[in-house]
Structure formats: C-alpha cells, structure tokens
Amino acid sequence: MLTKDKVYEITRQIPRGKVATYKQIATLAGNSKGARFVGTCMRTNPDAPHTPCHRVVGSDGAFHGYSAGNGIPTKIDMLREEGVQFKNGKVDLKSSQWQLN
C-alpha cells in the first residue's frame, strides 16, 4: 500500500549526487501508478532537508516543481552542488539516477 511514510522512507535513501523519479519511488513504495501521489508528498514534505525531496525528478529528468527557495532554480542549484549531471536542461538519468541495491 502506498503511504506517505513509505514514500518519505524511500526518499531518505536517495544518496547525495543521485536522483530518483516520481514513478520509481511510487513503484518501490508498492504502486507503480502512484507518481502523482509521490509528487504531492514531495510538495508537502514536512522534513526537508532530512527527506531530500529536491532529489526527485520526472521520468525524463525534467523538473516539475520545488517549493523551497526560488523554486526550480534552487532545486537545480542544490543538485548541481551535489554533483548531479545534467544534459539539455534536464537531469542526465543515465549517470545520475539512483538504483536501489
């Protein structure tokens, strides 16, 4: 069952310098169709930065919002600072997508 607690637990596992997609987190949390729910959880994250919602991006590496600082530019700056790789204005998922071991 997809719950906020499970989504936040998985999100806290994403290491510095890596990202996960909304769908990836939904799938790991038990419902591959729950990407929008994951987005809602990220938007209402009560425990940032301990739960690093800035490390969650779209399935194509695109940015779909960020509520802290100056929004998406802040998210991009934070990811760059962590070493996430970009290509054509999106996260390069081939090099920066987190894989749960």
Q: Which of 53, 56, 57, 84 is catalytic?
A: 53
Distance of CA 6 to the CA centre of its chain: 14
Instruction: State the pairing for strand pair 20-21/56-57.
Output: parallel
Question: 41 an active-site residue?
Answer: no
Q: With residue 78 as reference, give the H or E element that holds it.
A: helix 72-82
Q: How many CB atoms lie within 10 A of CB 68?
A: 13
The answer to whether the CB of 95 falls within 8 A of the CB of 61 is no
Report d(CA 74, CA 37) in Å as an integer: 23
Annotated active-site positions, please? 53
